[in-house]
């Protein structure tokens, strides 16, 4: 094996493409070496430090900085629920990027994109045939899950949606019970999560 030692490689005349190797070759940087100024086609990076994407040896991809969060509701009995009320998903399990505020129970999109949100709500304290609903209240549109409960006292509500958001748009969860104003909410059955899809 030969060693070529140079400080700068330039095209012989003018500017254009310089080719290293040929089809089937592998170009490897030495241990401890780093590259700069090489941008693969179709990939844009504004990162100045850290690892935003890892391609693992088994082909799987990790995006450790991808915005995502998961929170559970504060277990409590609340009154005045016969009007739309913000649900208190105040216990964070994780929050990559710090975009979920567990004091206002609001997620703020850090970048423009498509976000997946999932909501569950475990409740009790109402009569059968009562109408209850949850609302995913986003800056540019609302999504609802509304049921007329066939059971008395306890039930579950579910809502999942892919939402188009601009940077700094917000989303939170609201609840309403059309007949009974007092509800018990259960933290082990009530979750709010979301992540950037694309």
Decide if 139 is inside a domain: yes
Instruction: Return per-residue pLDDT of the chain as tens, 198 residues.
Output: 678 888 888 888 888 788 878 888 887 777 777 777 666 677 777 878 888 888 888 989 889 899 999 999 998 888 878 788 999 999 999 999 999 999 999 999 999 999 999 999 988 877 666 788 899 999 988 998 877 665 666 778 899 999 999 999 999 999 988 776 678 888 899 999 999 999
Q: What is the pTM of this model?
A: 0.77
For residue 151, what pLDDT is reported?
Answer: 61
What does 151-170 look like in DSSP terms, one character per residue?
SSSEEEEEEEEEEEE-TT-E
Q: Judging by beta carbons within 10 Å of its beta carbon (0-12, 13-18, 19+), is residue 63 exposed, middle or buried?
A: middle
Decide if 42 is inside a domain: no
Token digits of residue 43: 């990939």
For residue 39, what pLDDT is reported?
Answer: 65
Q: What is the number of structural domains in the chain?
A: 1
Decide if 102 is inside a domain: yes
* Three-state secondary-structure class, residue 91: strand
Residue 14 C-alpha from the chain's centroid? 47
Decide if 18 is inside a domain: no
User: What CATH number does the domain containing 122 carry?
Assistant: 2.60.120.40
Decide if 144 is inside a domain: yes
Cβ-proximal residues to 8 (8 Å cutoff; 6+ apart), any chain: none
Residue 98's domain comprises 68-196
For residue 73, what pLDDT is reported?
Answer: 94
Cβ-proximal residues to 155 (8 Å cutoff; 6+ apart), any chain: 123, 124, 126, 132, 147, 149
- Terminus-to-terminus CA distance in the chain, angstroms? 45
Q: Which of 129, 124, 67 is nearest to 99 (CA)?
A: 67
Decide if 60 is inside a domain: no
Do residues 147 and 157 touch, judged by C-beta distance below 8 A?
A: yes
Decide if 45 is inside a domain: no
What CA–CA distance (Å, rounded) separates 90 from 72? 6
Q: Tell me which H or E stretch contains 132.
A: strand 131-138
């Amino acid at each position: 094996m030969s060693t070529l030692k140079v400080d700068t490689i330039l095209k012989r005349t003018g500017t254009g493409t310089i080719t290293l190797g040929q089809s089937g070759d592998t170009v490897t940087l030495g241990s401890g070496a780093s590259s700069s100024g090489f941008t693969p086609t179709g990939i844009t990076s504004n990162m100045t430090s850290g690892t935003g994407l890892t391609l693992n040896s088994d082909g799987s991809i990790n995006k450790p900085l991808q915005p995502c969060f998961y929170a559970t509701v504060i277990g409590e009995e609340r009154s005045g629920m016969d009007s739309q009320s913000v649900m208190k998903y105040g216990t964070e399990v994780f929050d990559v990027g710090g975009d979920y505020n567990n004091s206002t129970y609001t997620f703020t999109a850090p970048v423009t994109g498509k976000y997946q949100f999932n909501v569950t709500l475990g409740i009790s304290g109402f009569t059968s045939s009562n109408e209850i609903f949850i609302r995913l209240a986003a800056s540019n549109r609302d999504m609802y899950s509304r049921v007329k409960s066939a059971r008395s006292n306890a039930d579950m509500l579910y809502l999942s949606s892919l939402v188009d958001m601009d940077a700094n748009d917000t989303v939170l969860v609201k609840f309403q019970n059309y007949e009974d104003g007092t509800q018990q909410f259960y933290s082990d059955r009530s979750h709010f999560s979301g992540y950037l899809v694309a």
